[in-house]
A = this chain, B = another copy of it.
């Protein structure tokens, strides 16, 4: 990316900025109440160790569409805000083992995905600058001895095989106070991680083996209502509606009638809201695995008929999610248009916000030139250009317009924290 674009910010193109401007204005005006309310919430339900939240900004609506509790992409954050990450991670680790020196980081097993490993390298850098010794214990079967990996950034990582003695996990000669998970456990909880004496953060039960998107967004719906009351807005402006079915088997076409019915109901509900806000757009929904991530098993649906007419290839794609889990439960989520675009090419941009403990530490835009405003931007094989946020999300300025950059970033940070709070409520349940 050319250097002069580093501090550019996507531009919001929408025919009806009315409700969002109202929302952004309300967020600024009620900032004190919002922050006080959030502080109280973190006391009741502490935030998970870290998270990233994908937002969609439709101009008339700003809402989270996915909350990742084992975030990657730390390498995409603005290096200028590294100090915020360092400060926040010090606090986050203090809560787990206050006198900790050594942490064992257990990443995803994609040992050849250098984009992912760059994120791990940045995460290690943050931890190291915060004053922790970190080594990487890999779950990958092919890591049977220490492997050095050279990264495009010039950094080098060493992946080491995990060693379990009794209920203590380590890598050779390195006893760690805690295990830091950066693996979403889509393929299940490996026995080597079960029943450990050390704290495992985030806990394995926040992995996709146990977690359901529908549960997350049910909590989020409650939170959006509480938040709407405090801020004085219609919760729908920040909340994507959703519906669920029971078991679905795409290959055997079982449960399809229920899916079609729910898709239609949700499309109707969206249309009602669009009518209310005079949004002249076609409603759409996203159908995706209720447990899962990485944008596999995701489709954009504009009508109930789209379901019946799925071809074999599309069905196969929906039937298996990351880690080979069969998709048996899906969530049908209101599609939120992305009307933020970047550059002359009008590339679609989707903000992703990063949090450590309950602090917003940065974010970036996923910029994609080959996707439309109603498509998922985190789909498999998808290529995006990361565009680091030019400003932090914690520095609102009431003297500026509500849609000025610093205030837009503040709005992102608020909505992302609502999603984080939903995750905190999930965490409290396990």
Interface residues of A (CB under 8 A from B): 31-36, 38-40, 43, 80-84, 86-88, 90-91, 94, 98-101, 128-133, 359, 392, 394-396
Are A87 and B86 in touch, CB under 8 angstroms?
Answer: no
Inside 8 A of A359's CB, which chain B residues have their CB?
87, 90
Q: Which residue of B lies closest to A93 (CB)?
A: B39
Inside 8 A of A38's CB, which chain B residues have their CB?
131
Are A101 and B33 in touch, CB under 8 angstroms?
Answer: yes
Inside 8 A of A40's CB, which chain B residues have their CB?
98-99
Tell me the complex Cα distance, A179–B429, Å.
37
Most buried by B among A38, A81, A87, A396: A87
Tell me the complex Cα distance, A342–B101, Å.
38
Tell me the complex Cα distance, A82–B129, Å.
20
Known pairs A35-B90, A87-B87. 6 more at Cβ < 8 A? Answer: A31-B128, A32-B131, A82-B395, A84-B87, A129-B395, A129-B396
| Known contacts A88-B87, A359-B87; A36/B131 CB under 8 A | yes
Q: Name the one of B83, B129, B396 contacting A81, with C-beta atoms under 8 angstroms.
A: B83
Are A94 and B394 in touch, CB under 8 angstroms?
Answer: no
Inside 8 A of A100's CB, which chain B residues have their CB?
36, 39
Chain A, interface SS category: helix
Are A101 and B32 in touch, CB under 8 angstroms?
Answer: yes
CB distance from A363 to the nearest CB of B (A): 13
Inside 8 A of A395's CB, which chain B residues have their CB?
82-83, 86, 129
Are A39 and B99 in touch, CB under 8 angstroms?
Answer: yes
Are A132 and B83 in touch, CB under 8 angstroms?
Answer: no
Tell me the complex Cα distance, A153–B77, Å.
32
CB distance from A65 to the nearest CB of B (A): 26
Q: Which residue of B lies closest to A177 (CB)?
A: B36
CB distance from A203 to the nearest CB of B (A): 22
Inside 8 A of A86's CB, which chain B residues have their CB?
394-395
| Known contacts A43-B99, A98-B40, A99-B43; A130/B35 CB under 8 A | yes
25 residue pairs from A and B, CB less than 8 Å apart: A31-B128, A32-B101, A32-B128, A32-B131, A32-B133, A35-B90, A35-B130, A35-B132, A36-B99, A36-B131, A36-B132, A38-B131, A39-B90, A39-B94, A40-B99, A43-B98, A81-B83, A82-B395, A83-B392, A83-B394, A84-B84, A84-B87, A86-B394, A86-B395, A90-B359
Q: Which residue of B lies closest to A154 (CB)?
A: B399
Most buried by B among A39, A392, A396: A39
Tell me the complex Cα distance, A356–B78, Å.
24
Q: Name the one of B35, B101, B129 contacting A36, with C-beta atoms under 8 angstroms.
A: B101
Tell me the complex Cα distance, A164–B133, Å.
51
Inside 8 A of A90's CB, which chain B residues have their CB?
35, 39, 359
Q: Which 8 A-B pairs have the closest CB atoms?
A: A35-B131, A83-B392, A36-B101, A40-B99, A83-B394, A86-B394, A32-B133, A43-B98
Most buried by B among A83, A90, A94: A83
CB distance from A317 to the nearest CB of B (A): 42
Q: Which residue of B lies closest to A127 (CB)?
A: B32
CB distance from A2 to the nearest CB of B (A): 23
Q: Which residue of B lies closest to A94 (CB)?
A: B39
